[in-house]
Amino acid sequence: MDKTTYTEIPDTSDSNYWIVTQHEQNRSTTFVPRDKELHLKLKKKAWAVIQASLTKRNRKGAKN
């Protein structure tokens, strides 16, 4: 993998980030991140951005 610095989860067309696994039985394709630790960090960052953009009432875990 090259030393690209990722600031968000890239599109599935980025073969440096994703490993593509194809399953013949059900004709499905699975995208697995090459660096699971980086992927987890990017997921947490994306989730925080999404939650911050929501109103307090609509946030996950908010009491109505």
Query: Residues 35, 8, 3, CA angle at the centre, nearest 5°?
Result: 50
Please provide the DSSP assignment of 15-64 as one string. Answer: TTTEEEEEETTTTEEEEEES-HHHHHHHHHHHHHHHHHHS-GGGSTT---
pTM > 0.75: no
Model pLDDT, residue 60:
73
The band of 54, judged by pLDDT with boundaries at 50, 70 and 90, is confident
The pLDDT assigned to 62 comes to 64
pLDDT tens for each residue of 7-50 = 999 999 999 999 999 999 999 999 999 999 999 999 999 999 99
